[in-house]
Amino acid sequence: MKTIYTDTHRLQHGNLELMDGQLLPCFEKPERADLVISHVRASQLGPVLEPQEFGIAPLARIHAPNYLAFLQSAWDAWVEEHGSDHHALPLNWPIRGMRSDIEPEAIDGKLSYFSFDAGTPITPGTWQAVTRSAYVALTAQQWIASGERAAFALCRPPGHHAAADYYGGYCFLNNAAIAAQAFLDQGAARVAVLDVDYHHANGTQAIFYARDDVLVLSLHGDPRQEFPYFLGYADETGLGAGEGFNANYPLPWGTDASTWFAALESACERITAYAPDALVISLGVDTYKGDPISQFLLDSADYPRLGQRLARLGLPTLFVMEGGYAVDAIGVNTVNVLTGFMQA
Catalytic residues: 161
Task: Kindly compute the dihedral angle of the four CA atoms of residues 103, 104, 106, 107, in this order, to the nearest 10 degrees.
Answer: -40
CA atoms lying within 13 Å on the CB side of residue 270: 23
Q: Which residues pair with 278 in a beta bridge?
A: 191
Question: What is the Cα–Cα distance from 340 to 336, expressed in whole angstroms?
Answer: 6
- Which residue from 233, 194, 197, 201 is spatially nearest to 215, judged by alpha carbons? 194
Cis upstream peptide for 228 (omega within 30°) = yes
Question: What is the Cα–Cα distance from 57 to 138, expressed in whole angstroms?
Answer: 12
- Which residue from 174, 169, 170 is spatially nearest to 227, judged by alpha carbons? 169
* In contact, 181 and 60? CB cutoff 8 Å: no
Q: Please calculate the CA angle 135-136-138 and round it to the nearest 5 degrees.
A: 60
